Amino acid sequence: MESSELAFMIWLLACVSGPVDGYPNGKVTEACSSMVPLHGHYPQLTPKHIITASETEFRPGDHIKVTLSGPDFEGFLLQARDAENLDGPTVGSFLLVEQRISQLLTCNHVKNSSVSHTHKSKKNHLEAYWIASPNAPKHVQFLATVVEKYHIFWVKIPGPIISQPNAPPLTAIPTTPKTQPTSQPVSHLIKPFNALGCGSMKFCIRNPTNCNPEAANCFFLSFKPDGHSVIIEMSGPSEGYLAFALSHDQWMGDDDAYLCVSEDHHININTAFLRGRSSPVLDSQNTLEDMSWRLADGVLQCSFRRKIHLSDNQRRYNLDANYYIFLADGEVGEGGPIYKHQRQPLISNGMCNVTGPPKDLGGSRSPQLIKIHGALMFVAWMTTVSIGVIVARFFKPVWPHSLLFGKEIWFQVHRTLMLTTVALTSIAFILPFIYRGGWSYKAGFHPYLGCTVMALAIFQPLVAGFRPSPHGPRRQLFNWVHWSAGTTARILAVVTMFLGMDLPALKLPYPWDTYTMLGFVAWHVGIDVLLEMHGYCLIHKVELIDDDRIHILQSLTSVEAEGRTFKQIVLTIYICGNIAFLITFLAAINQL
């Protein structure tokens, strides 16, 4: 349990980066143009705050009083923009009324062009003067982003529009600013998608590989080139969200993500850039077209079109290069914040060019090489090592007279099982290196402990190979060194396994895995203690009989024979239990 939590924390520490702490001091210049707070959550939809202006008309140089009021809020960003181009630059400048709660910002190199909060204390009212610039457009609209609490906020709340005298009426009725996915025209899908043409007309990633999104609850993602753009379809069982990301590597972070998020029986289609492992920061600028979706029987489907090259948006990757593709699903909380996917996302088997020749690929939630790594390590450090050591510790006197290939049985068993352990460890050890092409620098302590275990596992047979003769003077030293190094290796290996099985690349079901591992440790220690106690009782018994000197030899052998049977039964039971635990873990790995 503990080490698993430790693993989780290490993993979090190793992976979380990005702007997760917000801007309590109001220096929100990063949000100048999008007006989206980088809080990694979805904005609320229906504003509760109101912006008012003291005038409806203005001339260059005029001071217009602007007020923002509503329920208590912690932060805000107030701007004026051309009412006919709400995604364009800010207009004019501001003058503060209350220096204590508000400050002027330089947005896009224009001094005093925005007003924001100074700290996160609660306020329900804010005033500022807007000064019309000489080159102000005919119609100006005030916009505000209001943060009520860290993850509850509204973006670009539309305020009043004020106009210059004699200005022609606004050409278009200003709609709510075009920032949120909901404001995009979204049509419903008439028909669910199908897998027809996968591998011939379109590039598909399916899990399981025979997934037909029309029929089953399975994950499906397809890319169909169409001129200069690509039509993308995504489908899967999810009550919350479904997302895919294009990544240059097999880690999450610095990825180009596309999300279909369900909210109130409606689906928002969005893009985001994933920084590290923090919650995705949604883009305010939408680069997708022809968006449509369908939500039925717990299956979420969405479809949209994207240009292959987007010159004006460097955050989006070009679609004609090679990427690993991640497909993730998860829950959505109230108001829409995205929770982390509960399980490891599906990763495409290899890098792919979605605009290249159509392919029909599968995906896995865990790479094959890493699965083999985990499986071999379990065999080695749960089973072969445990049986080998128990035999060396308790079974030396059990088969004293029978030899196997000229050596005592316990020794042959110990040597064979231990060399097997070393061989399995060596093979398993190199697999993650092959997979990562180097050091697993985001896997926490596991690789470091793993290397220590590997080193000890090589050290053991080397020392054993040069062991002094059983009655030689340095034998005690050998026993001590061999015992300590072996025991250290086993303890470290158990910790390493605890940490390994919660790593993202091979995430066994949690907390099941931790409890089962604890169960195994308890089983092993229990048997160890039992045999230890049995050995102690045996010595005690022999000492009692010792008084009756005549019978000593006879009794010794009879007591030993009795003990031998007991030990053999315990060993058999132990091996069965051990293998049962091993099979449980191997089956869990196979399920991923």
Ligand X SMILES: *[C@@H]1O[C@H](CO)[C@@H](O)[C@H](O)[C@H]1NC(C)=O
# residues near ligand HEM by CB under 6 A: 50
Q: State which of residues 241, 378, 395, 574 lies at the interface with ligand HEM (CB under 6 A).
A: 378
Q: What is the DSSP string of 274-294?
A: E-TTSPPEE-SS--EEEEEEE
Q: Which residues pair with 403 in a beta bridge?
A: 408
Compose the 98-127 pattern: x for residues touching ligand X by CB under 6 A, - for all others: ------x------xx---------------
**Separation in Å, CA 155 to CA 49, 160, 467, 513:** 11, 15, 74, 43
Least Å from the CB of residue 116 to ligand X: 14
DSSP state of 591: H
Q: State which of residues 208, 356, 397, 511 lies at the interface with ligand X (CB under 6 A).
A: 356
Q: Which of ligand HEM, ligand X, none interacts with 355 (beta carbon under 5 to 8 A by kind)?
A: ligand X
Q: Is 353 near ligand X (CB under 6 A)?
A: yes
Residue 133 or 176: the one with the smaller Cβ distance to ligand X is 133
Q: Is residue 256 within 8 Å of residue 280, measured between CB atoms? A: no
Residue from 147, 138, 139 nearest 119 by CA = 147
Q: Is 60 near ligand X (CB under 6 A)?
A: no
Q: Which conformational region is residue 244 in: left (phi greater than 0), alpha (psi within -120 to 50 degrees), or beta?
A: beta
Residue with tokens 């993500």: 257
Measured from the Cβ of residue 536, the count of other Cβ atoms closer than 10 Å reads: 10
Q: How many Å apart are CA 451 and CA 211, to the nearest integer?
A: 40
Q: Is 355 near ligand X (CB under 6 A)?
A: yes
Residue from 50, 23, 18 nearest 35 by CA = 23
Residue from 20, 31, 120 nearest 72 by CA = 120
Least Å from the CB of residue 396 to ligand HEM: 7
Q: Is 500 near ligand HEM (CB under 6 A)?
A: yes
Question: Which of 72-80, 235-243, 283-291, 418-426 is the region at the interface with ligand HEM (rule: CB under 6 A)?
Answer: 418-426
Least Å from the CB of residue 276 to ligand HEM: 15
Residue from 249, 254, 273 nearest 367 by CA = 249
Residue 355 or 426: the one with the smaller Cβ distance to ligand X is 355
Q: Is 483 near ligand HEM (CB under 6 A)?
A: yes
Pairing verdict, β 187-188 and 288-296: parallel
For CA atoms 8, 13, 14, 18, the dihedral sign is positive
Q: Is 373 near ligand HEM (CB under 6 A)?
A: yes
Q: Which of ligand X, ligand HEM, none interacts with 436 (beta carbon under 5 to 8 A by kind)?
A: ligand HEM
Question: Which of 140-148, 242-250, 349-357, 474-482 is the region at the interface with ligand X (rule: CB under 6 A)?
Answer: 349-357
Question: Which of 210-218, 318-326, 425-433, 453-461 is the region at the interface with ligand X (rule: CB under 6 A)?
Answer: 318-326
User: Maximum Cα–Cα distance for the chain, whole Å?
Assistant: 128
Residue 95 or 216: the one with the smaller Cβ distance to ligand X is 95
Q: How many Å apart are CA 329 and CA 132, to the nearest integer?
A: 48
Q: Which of ligand HEM, ligand X, none interacts with 392 (beta carbon under 5 to 8 A by kind)?
A: ligand HEM
Q: Is residue 499 within 8 Å of residue 7, measured between CB atoms? A: yes
Residue 298 or 472: the one with the smaller Cβ distance to ligand HEM is 472
* Cα 392 from chain centre: 42
Question: Which of 25-33, 304-312, 482-490, 522-530 is the region at the interface with ligand HEM (rule: CB under 6 A)?
Answer: 482-490
338: tokens are: 């995205």
Residue 418 or 538: the one with the smaller Cβ distance to ligand HEM is 418
Q: Is 351 near ligand X (CB under 6 A)?
A: no
304: tokens are: 């949209």
Q: State which of residues 155, 352, 489, 527 lies at the interface with ligand HEM (CB under 6 A).
A: 489
Q: Is 511 near ligand X (CB under 6 A)?
A: no
Least Å from the CB of residue 104 to ligand X: 5
Residue from 79, 86, 237, 188 nearest 143 by CA = 79
Residues 455-474 that bind ligand HEM (CB under 6 A): 457, 460-461, 464-465, 467
Residue 322 or 557: the one with the smaller Cβ distance to ligand X is 322
Residue from 82, 70, 158 nearest 113 by CA = 82
**What is the number of residues in the chain?**
592
Q: Is residue 252 within 8 Å of residue 326, measured between CB atoms? A: yes
Q: Is residue 299 within 8 Å of residue 218, measured between CB atoms? A: no
Least Å from the CB of residue 310 to ligand X: 16
Q: Which residues pair with 114 in a beta bridge?
A: 105
Tell me the one-letter amino acid at 255.
Answer: D
Q: State which of residues 15, 97, 231, 321 lies at the interface with ligand X (CB under 6 A).
A: 321
Q: Which residues bind ligand HEM (CB under 6 A)?
A: 370, 373-374, 377-378, 381, 385, 389, 392-393, 414-415, 418-419, 421-422, 425, 429, 432-433, 436, 439-440, 443, 446-447, 450-451, 453-454, 457, 460-461, 464-465, 467, 479, 482-483, 486-487, 489, 493, 496-497, 500-501, 503, 505-506
